[in-house]
Chains A and B, each alone.
Chain A
Amino acid sequence: MYSLYQFFIYVSSATVIFLTAFVFYKNKANSLSYRFAFLNISFLLWMISYAKMYSVQNEQIAYILSHVGFVGTILVPLFLFLFLLDFIERKINKFIKGIYILISLFFVIFTIFSNLIISELTHTDWSVFPSAGAFHFLFLIYTTVIFLHAIFYAYKYIQTDEITSIKKQKTIYLMLIYGVYFAFFIFDNLFFYNLFDFEPTFYLSILFCVIPITTIISSYNLSNIKVAAIKFLLFIFMLALVLILTNYILISSTNIYVSNFITFMLTISFFMFYRKVINKAENILFSQNKHYQNILIHAASGMAKEHNIDRLLKLIAIIVVKTVKVSFAAIFLENQTTGNYEIKILRAFSNKNNELLFSYDKNHPFINFIKQKNEPFLFDEMPQFIAHSVVLPFRPALIIPSFFEDIKGFMIIGEKNNKDIFTKEDMSVFKMLARQTSLAIENCLFFEQYKQAQEKISAAEKLASIGGLAEGVAHQIRNRLNQFSLISGELKFEIEDFQNNNKETVNTDKNLKSTFNYITELSTSLKNNVDKTNEIIKGILDFAKMESKSTMFETFKFKEIVDLSYDMLKIKHHLPDNFLFIKNFKDDDTVFGVKSQIMEVIYNLIDNAFEAIEEKNNISLNKKPIRHTGRIEVSLIKKNDFSIIKISDNGSGIKEQNFGKIFVPFFTTKSSRKSGTGIGMYIVKRMIVENHNGKIWFESKHMTGTDIFIELPNH
């Protein structure tokens, strides 16, 4: 036959079983879960025995059940003690542990085999209940000692330095629960002394013990617990107040209407004031938090004004560290090219700015966890193996991801200096901070890109305007050059004619002869300069030509353009007799591309080769009078999908420090007495790479020679 009382006890038992299973699920099967299980088994033994005892008819069985149930009661303090020790990871002296176990064993034996602890059954209004034995008070003393010892250890633990704020909070709560439960436990044991005439409430106190412990060991966000606990206490307090007042009024009042009215008013005011009291309590509790939360909110809105990304990150880190007063703040950003996450700033509370090199690969489990979570989380929430792979000089407490479209990064914050936990409001402020940070970073990056784009555009505009002017100006200048050329030619011929027609006069007068020779030299020099100026014009025009892409691709004989270039350059450079020009390709070998542009390229490169050889000659002439044999070799290597053109010379080569500048526009090593504007190689590269989708590279050694390679696709 069931009574309501038994029903409550069974429901409590079921709850305890459920919570045990829940802890195993959440915490996995570690030693803490096991000790919790043992504790609960004692509770269950206690509860179920007494529930059964409540309704059983046979007094003999009831007697046995009462003693069996009390065994559970005996084991409770012991297991609570062991549980707490495991929680604070304290290894105690085996001796102390042994003593407590021994004492418990004593009590168990005496309970089962004698009436010294628990004695005979007495009949109460509601059922039967055992009475206390002669030495039951010893059990109470033992319970007090073991509880105090446990609380003492816990207190010692929260004084240590290595404790994290989470652990500290959890331990404090456990201490509170243990303290209160101790009182309840003693109270429950007083039932054996037949002091009360209502049913024992042990199942309620058990729930009061087990439920909070479960929450504490399975949850990470304790701010909820703190607030919930305070709300609960306030609720109880106000409820008690109301109940006591109403009780008092009902008892002492004569007028039933008045008393009912007052009761009604009290109940209503309870509900009205409850909300207000709770909010006030929260404000007081979190006043310090609210202070820095406001600062952070203000800082976040000012972030968008900072356009330099390094300054922005530094600002954020400093604000977080100084206002929230945490041990450190570190910001990681995704590297746009590699995709890995690199540390950008690390600011500690005590030191000045630290420069450290950290980087997490984009596939690192830590990064994956962050991406998955996508909102602020505590470091302790991560699985062990991930937590161990994160190595930082300071212990991280909170990780705040910051993802906004393409901008990815995260901030790691250390513990608060006062070891307080991060509350729910903290988390939401950080979340907002993270969002603002992403926007601000995106802003900065956008500005940088914009600046770069602007620079590119103005550079391109400059070049384009040169190109635009080029045609017109070049033509005009060419005409002037034409004049100079004709003038210098005329000058020379005029002098020549005079010298020829007046041989004796010229030969006898030394002054005349030298003057005429000098004038001839001047006119030659004039002509040379005209030629050089023409080269410059040509360079600029080529450059202008570049802008209009020709799409006339065709297959043509390589020999043609090499021969043509060689012919033109032979005249230009007045080749000496011992010059080698080697053609390393077959007559019908073909190349695919825009004929005029490839012609331009080959011409330019062979021209450069010639000049390099001349330069080498000139340099060696200065040191020692050796003229080496100039040699240029042009080869064509045909592959399936592409052809490689190689132009080698044994000229002056390229200095290593100039390797990177060869293709830069307006770079030239040729002294101003030679021709060349520096546009040549730049144009060549653009033609090959942009118009033909090819590649160009070189190998060179100073004073030995240069090899230029061009790769052109065959279609």
Chain B
Amino acid sequence: MNKKVLIVDDEEEILAFMSRFLKRLGIDSNIAVSGEQALEKYKQESFDCVFLDVHLGGISGIDVLKQIKSLNNDAKVIIITGSISADNKERLLAMGAKDYLQKPIDLADFKEKVLTYI
């Protein structure tokens, strides 16, 4: 089965770039522009990992993380965030995120993380 990644970000262009990039690597992806949409899609399909932007309209990225975790405790969620500091990272990890991706996104970094968590 092909690997599948869920990308959640409130900017469509970002989603387009990231999914196109994943395609280049031969990885399938699905996109969501809001937390609600993300949860809907997550319930419908299965994903190997989720890349989740912390800043979303509607319900916050953190809430989405919690809900995904409650749906599937083993879910691998990588948080995309603009600012990270030491205790932020710990908090996120404590809440269930597997890792974080710093904005502005370095595609090489992205590639590394995707290949790790898939």
Contacts and interface: CB of A to CB of B under 8 A. Distances in A.
Contacts of B106: 485, 489, 527
Interface string B60-74: 000000000000000
A478 B82 contact: yes
Nearest to A483: B13
Contacts of B55: 475
Secondary structure of the B side of the interface?
Answer: helix
B21 interface: yes
B117 interface: no
A486 B21 CA distance: 9
A267 to B, nearest CB: 104
Contacts of A497: 24
Interface residues of A, number: 29
B62 to A, nearest CB: 16
Contacts of B110: 489
Contacts of B13: 483
Contacts of B87: 595-596
A662 interface: no
B105 A485 contact: yes
Given A482-B105, A490-B107, A538 B86 contact: no
B86 A489 contact: no
A541 interface: yes
A490 B21 contact: yes
A484 interface: yes
A490 B86 contact: no
Given A475-B55, A481-B103, A481-B104, A486 B86 contact: no
Interface string A271-299: 00000000000000000000000000000
B21 A493 contact: yes
Interface in A586-605: 595-596, 599-600
A487 B104 contact: no
A479 interface: yes
B83 interface: yes
B92 to A, nearest CB: 15
A534 to B, nearest CB: 6
A530 interface: yes
A242 interface: no
A561 interface: yes
A596 B91 CA distance: 13
Contacts of B82: 474-475, 478
Nearest to B18: A486
A564 interface: yes
Contacts of B3: none
B83 A482 contact: no
A487 B17 contact: yes
A486 B83 contact: no
A599 B86 contact: yes
Interface in B1-33: 11, 13-14, 17-18, 20-21, 24
Contacts of B94: none
B115 interface: no
B69 to A, nearest CB: 25
B77 to A, nearest CB: 19
Nearest to B110: A489
Contact of B105 (A475, A489, A596): A489
Given A475-B55, A489-B21, A490-B20, A482 B104 contact: yes
A10 B95 CA distance: 114
Contact of A478 (B24, B85, B86, B104): B104
Contact of A530 (B11, B85, B86, B104): B104
Given A482-B14, A483-B13, A493-B24, A564 B104 contact: no
Contacts of B24: 493, 497
A483 B107 contact: no
Contacts of B104: 478, 481-486, 530-531, 534
Contacts of B14: 482-483, 486
Interface centre among A481, A490, A561 (most CB of B within 10 A): A490
Nearest to A494: B24
Greatest chain B CB density within 10 A among A479, A481, A487, A531 is at A479
Given A478-B82, A497-B24, A490 B103 contact: no
A482 B21 contact: no
B54 to A, nearest CB: 11
B85 A596 contact: yes
A483 B18 CA distance: 10
A679 to B, nearest CB: 15
B57 to A, nearest CB: 13
Nearest to A479: B11
Interface of A: 474-475, 478-479, 481-487, 489-490, 492-493, 497, 527, 530-531, 534, 538, 541, 560-561, 564, 595-596, 599-600
7 contacts: A481-B104, A484-B104, A486-B14, A486-B21, A486-B105, A489-B105, A534-B104
Given A478-B82, A489-B107, A596-B86, 5 more contacts: A475-B82, A481-B103, A485-B105, A486-B105, A489-B108
